[in-house]
Amino acid sequence: MKINYILYLVLLSSLSLLSCKKDFLNQTNPNAIASSDYFESPNDVLLAVNGAYQALRNNNGMAEGSGLYSEERSDNTGRNDNQSNGGEPFQFNNFSILPTNSFLQSHWNALYSIVNAANFAIEGAESVTFSDQNLKNQYEAEAKFIRAITYFDLVRKWGAVPLVDKPVSSIEEAMAKNYRVSMDSVYSLIVSDLQYTINSSLPNIQSSTGIGHASKAAACGYLGKVYLTMASTLSADKKTENLINAKTYLEQSYAMRKFGTLSEIPYASVFDVNQKTTNAELLFQIEYKQGDQNYASSIAANNQAKGETINSLKNATGIGGNVCHDLVNDYELNDIRKAFSIKFASNVSVNDYFITKFRDTSSAAGTNGYGGNDWILLRYADVILMLAEVNNDLNNSDVAISYLDQVRTRAGLPSYEQSILSQDYGTKYPSLKLAILHERRAELAFENQRLYDLLRNFTPTEFAAYFQSKKQADYGLAQLANCGTKDYYYPIPFNDNKLNPTGLYQNPGY
């Protein structure tokens, strides 16, 4: 019997996540257990929720090593190596990706594994008797938050996708979900899950002991981004309604902050491993454990170029994190974010810019590079710039500029009104929309936000034209001319499409 490849893998991988310790950074890998036999107490639900958080740490999903699927698809990073791994990674920034790409399949698999891990935790919360209903509500809210942000990744990258809102526990159940549903249906689940989190017993902002867990402020920030994305990618007749909803939830998130203006928080401190549990800008992050061989971060060491020591004590042998010269040239003069985020390596085998945004040169991380960097999925600068974006879309330009300037001030840059008088700035960013998009690029570079910003701000035709208008010399070996309207979405992985060509129909152009 033919079965849906990914959903069956999801079933197996999610079952293996259920048995885990209270600290979700320290998991065992037990044999699979049927969910009907697993949930007996609230503690079992806690373990399942921890399993869902643990699933987030998969680098093929949304964790620190997932830049191939987003950042390298944008104009921020890429690679000039078109040979390694059969040239498959190069396909992402070369706009030549094939449905048979094994890395794409791994990304799809990982995201659905996260979804199903969250589904098991949700089922557990509903099947167990709780004496404390607030505790039940909290566990379910956390699992729904994880499911929502994962589906948000899926719908933005593939459009219509299979909607799996219950645990998959049999081949028959997998087959029953083996088809794409409308983007509206996917967004409906995302909105419902995030609204549940917002109305839950979770705190507005997590305390230092709750870092890495969902909160109401994070859910509001995500829901604002969801509505902002819906406004530009779904039915035009609901655009204004979606923009108003986006503004509402972004303002709610912003109102929960524990600081005044962004300038109170130095830019470098946002990425300081010693401040990751106390920095007021951070809203949601994936935790890593400094010095631990299994659960440490490797992003600092992996991005360090040969001959350099700025990121890590580990001896680097490669070229570090690749930076497109198009991004290097987009930073403004005296932008402190450029000096912190990238550096030129003069080593003869490199002679190029590499990423320095993520650093851990502590003795605890050591020469093995077992860093303590957490992977930030949402922070307040992102929320503030979305408030600028949504207010601009609603023709509240003065309010939009005030939010934009809050970010520019921290970056050591002049106000928008001053900058727009500059011929260079005015030529590059002739509209407030493009100025905000530029600011998001400089502020959030290498944080896997750029691709989504481009998809949200451009139609498929505009997306292709944007890349084709760039200077090829600033982009390396990847050919910008390859970019077309098909590249607005990824192809459905071949292994899934072939099992149900009608239900899991292929995206146009592949």
For residue 29, pLDDT beyond 90: no
**Does residue 23 belong to any structural domain of this protein?**
yes
The model's pLDDT over 419-474, given as tens digits with 9 standing for 90+, comes to: 999 999 999 999 999 999 999 999 999 999 999 999 999 999 999 999 999 999 99
Which pLDDT does position 34 carry in this prediction?
Answer: 54
Q: How far apart are CA 297 and CA 308, in angstroms?
A: 18
- The answer to whether residues 247 and 394 touch, using CB atoms and an 8 Å cutoff, is yes
Say how many domains are in the chain. Answer: 2
The answer to whether residues 53 and 173 belong to one domain is yes
Which pLDDT does position 176 carry in this prediction?
Answer: 85
- Structure token digits, residue 154: 């899926």
For residue 406, pLDDT beyond 90: yes
**Does residue 340 belong to any structural domain of this protein?**
yes
Among 345, 373, 401, residue at a domain's last position? 373
For residue 392, pLDDT beyond 90: yes
The answer to whether residues 311 and 164 belong to one domain is no
Among 341, 373, 405, residue at a domain's last position? 373
The model's pLDDT over 71-96, given as tens digits with 9 standing for 90+, comes to: 999 999 999 999 999 999 999 999 99
| Residue 6's CATH number | 1.25.40.390
For residue 14, pLDDT beyond 80: no
**Does residue 77 belong to any structural domain of this protein?**
yes
The model's pLDDT over 134-169, given as tens digits with 9 standing for 90+, comes to: 999 999 999 999 999 999 999 999 999 999 999 987
For residue 501, pLDDT beyond 60: yes
For residue 1, pLDDT beyond 80: no
Which pLDDT does position 316 carry in this prediction?
Answer: 96
The answer to whether residues 479 and 364 belong to one domain is no
Which run of H or E residues covers position 233? helix 216-233
The answer to whether residues 27 and 170 belong to one domain is yes
Alpha-helical regions (H) of 56-203: 90-93, 102-127, 133-158, 171-176, 183-198
- The answer to whether residues 391 and 403 touch, using CB atoms and an 8 Å cutoff, is yes
**Does residue 247 belong to any structural domain of this protein?**
no
**Does residue 55 belong to any structural domain of this protein?**
yes
**Does residue 381 belong to any structural domain of this protein?**
no
- Structure token digits, residue 71: 């950042």
Q: What angle do CA 223, 229, 230 make, to 5 degrees?
A: 90
What is the rounded average pLDDT for all residues in the chain?
A: 93
The answer to whether residues 369 and 492 belong to one domain is no
For residue 17, pLDDT beyond 60: no
β-pairing, 352-355 vs 342-345, is antiparallel
**Does residue 123 belong to any structural domain of this protein?**
yes
For residue 3, pLDDT beyond 70: no
Among 373, 392, 420, residue at a domain's last position? 373
The range of the structural domain enclosing residue 293 comes to 288-373
Which pLDDT does position 169 carry in this prediction?
Answer: 75
Q: What pTM, to 2 d.p., does this model score?
A: 0.94
**Does residue 172 belong to any structural domain of this protein?**
yes
